[in-house]
Each structure stands twice: as C-alpha cells, then as structure tokens.
Amino acid sequence: MPSPEPVTAALVVIGDEILSGRTKDVNIGATADFCTELGIELSEVRVVPDIEDEIIAAVNAVRSRYTYVFTTGGIGPTHDDITADAVAKAFGVGLPINAEARAMLEARWQQTGTEVNEARLRMARIPEGAALIVNSVSAAPGFRIGNVHVMAGVPKIMQAMLESIAPTLKGGRKVRSITIRCRVGEGTIGGDFGRIQGEFPDVKMGSYPQMGQTAVMTELVLRSPDEARLEQAAARVREMVTEAHRAAGLPLEVEVY
C-alpha cells in the first residue's frame, strides 16, 4: 500500500569529474525516473566534490530532511574514492573490511583471474552496521546505513543497484501529470497562469517554452497525486489557453497529453 504521507528523497552526486564537466551525469535523470515510478518525490539534488568534509556535510544535511538519501560515486578502488570513508564518519562508525563484501568480490575475482590487492579490497570496506546493496554487474557492493543508500557512479551499475533496493523502499502516492500545449508565449499567459496556480496550490504547475521551432509554443505541465484536483486544474488551464488562442487569432484546439 502506498504511504498516505509524502515519501521524499535527496540525491547526492559525488565526484570532481562531474563538476569539471569531464563526465556528463545521467544518474540524476535515472534516479528521478526511479523515484517517480515508486511515488517518491525527489526533492533535492546536490553535486559535491571529492572532498571528505563536503561529502559529510551534504549527507548530514539531507538525511535528516528526507525519507531517503541516495548517493552516487566514489566507492571504487582508488585513493579519491572516499565516499565510504565520509559516510562512515557522518554516522560516527568504523569502516572495516566487511567479510560478506570481501567474499562477493573474491568470488568474482576468482572467476576472472583478477589479483586480490590492497586497492581492490578498498571496495570491501563497509561502515559498521550497514547492509549491502547487491551489484549484479561487477560484484562490488554498495551499502545502506540508516536512510542513506550509497551506490556506484557508473550508470549501468547504479541502475542495477536501484533495481536491487526498490523492494526495500516504501512508495508514496504516484504523481500524475498533464501537459497542455499553448501556441502563445509565456509572457502572454503568465499572469492568468499564475492566478490559476493560486486557485490550486496543491497542484504543481510549470511553464516551459519550446525554443527553436517556427511557431511559438509553451508547454504547461501540471502534476499532482490527486487525480480529481489535477483534472479540475487542467480544465481551468485549457479554458485559459483557448481564450489566449482566440485573442491571438489562432486555432482554438488545445493539445493535451
């Protein structure tokens, strides 16, 4: 059963390579899609560098505010993979080599003929009290401690970890959306659209101009878990768009999807 209360989440993306632009993040979108499907509201995303104090501060800031926290990046075998260290310090626990994690890794290394060395064993360091998150792609696990889920930055692995933790998460009411296309610019309908938002404060409304097309087009997106309220708000927006089209001498049909 979906939780009657809002279920919220934050994502902390960790890595100098994201901030420098060397790596183009795709994990934010994947996490947003994942949360939406489960009825979890992704409320905040932070991108932080590979600096321990910055990671600790970010994790501590969001874990007390949201139902769930997800982190991506920084759990590999090199010196700059410090997410496990930072999260252990955020919770005030030790970071020993975890026997179960080591067994998972060594089983994979035996299959692939990979040498067991100190660098690779860094990936078996798990904060005390944490539960492992299975990695079906490369065996190196993530972990969950409290409400914080620590996952890899490699998109394929991160998405496999999301699939692994999905059954352990409680979902909220799924949010439905309606998009209404308007053939006039935002400036024309901005005032009326704002007034409708005031009438329906429980329905999230956004305006998104579509650039680079031969005709002016504005997409008005309405989102709410309450289907009846969403339909009521959408009806008001459709009326507004029809009137805007009429005033501009445009066809009166309104595209809705």
* Model confidence at 4: pLDDT above 70: no
For residue 67, the model assigns a pLDDT of 98
Distance, first Cα to last Cα, the chain: 28
pLDDT category of residue 42 using cuts at 50, 70 and 90: very high
Q: Determine what percent of the chain is predicted with pLDDT higher than 70.
A: 97
For residue 251, the model assigns a pLDDT of 85
* Model confidence at 146: pLDDT above 90: yes
pTM comes to 0.86
Q: Select the CATH number that applies to the domain covering 176-256 from these four: 3.40.50.720, 3.30.470.20, 1.10.3720.10, 3.30.70.600.
A: 3.30.70.600
Mean per-residue pLDDT for 125-153? 96
Tell me the pLDDT tens digit for each residue of 191-232. Answer: 999 999 999 999 999 999 987 666 778 999 999 999 999 999
Higher pLDDT, 155 or 255: 155
What residue type is 228 in one-letter code? A
The position carrying tokens 């009166």 is 252
Tell me the pLDDT tens digit for each residue of 10-23. Answer: 999 999 999 999 99
For residue 1, the model assigns a pLDDT of 55
Question: Which pair of tokens denotes residue 135?
Answer: 């990695």
C-alpha distances in angstroms, 255 versus 59, 164, 218?
A: 42, 38, 11
Nearest residue to 136 via CA among 165, 179, 115: 165
Who's near 40: CB < 8 A, 6+ residues apart? 7, 8, 9, 34, 67, 68, 169, 171, 172
CATH fold, domain 8-168, is Molybdenum Cofactor Biosythetic Enzyme; Chain A (3.40.980)
Q: Are 98 and 124 in contact (CB under 8 A)?
A: yes
Mean per-residue pLDDT for 139-162? 96
Tell me the pLDDT tens digit for each residue of 92-113. Answer: 999 999 999 999 999 999 999 9
Q: How many Å is the maximal CA-CA distance in the chain?
A: 73
- Residue-range domain boundaries for the chain: 8-168, 176-256
Who's near 51: CB < 8 A, 6+ residues apart? none
For residue 169, the model assigns a pLDDT of 97
For residue 213, the model assigns a pLDDT of 60
- The phi, psi pair for 255, rounded to 5°, reads -85, 125
